[in-house]
Amino acid sequence: MQVSEIVTTVFLALGCVVSLTGAYGLLRMPDFYSRLHTAGKTDSLGQFLIFVGLVFVTPDLLTQLKLVLVAMILMIAAPTATHAITKAAHLHHLRPWTKSDPGGEP
């Protein structure tokens, strides 16, 4: 195994761990805002790690630039979409979860 393949493997493994953690948090958390907290962060970081890991094993320059382009598009678009979802839910008076108030749709 060459050095670039080892670096790619490490990046892909990190991306796998982050993505799976986000998916499990989205399934596990009790409330919409806490689910948003796990999904919004791990989406951006997981895809960024996997795309950056794939750059090291790609031979030609154009494909590397395309990989960085997809990573940058997602790095801008995913937090914007998360912010828009949060704003829409907040404007519709979705209450956060507490111990005395189970929350939910008004």
Partner 1 sequence: MPWIYLATAVVLLVGMFMILIRAIAGPTVYDRILATNALGTKTIVFVTLLGYVSGRTEFIDMAIIYALVSFITTIAILKFAEMGRLD
In the numeric block, the tokens 């919004």 are attached to 40
Calpha distance 23→19 (Å, rounded): 6
Q: How far is the CB of 37 from partner 1 (least distance, A)?
A: 11
Calpha distance 30→7 (Å, rounded): 37
88 binds partner 1 per the rule CB under 8 A: yes
46 binds partner 1 per the rule CB under 8 A: yes
Calpha distance 67→9 (Å, rounded): 17
10 binds partner 1 per the rule CB under 8 A: no
Helix (H, G, I), strand (E, B) or coil at 75: helix
Among 56, 69, 99, 101, binds partner 1 (CB under 8 A): 69
For 49, the token pair is 């790690």
Contact residues for partner 1 (CB under 8 A)? 5, 8-9, 12, 15-16, 19-20, 22-24, 26-27, 32, 35-36, 39, 43, 46-47, 50-51, 54, 57-58, 63, 66-67, 69-70, 73-74, 77-78, 80-82, 84-85, 88-89, 91-92, 94, 104-105
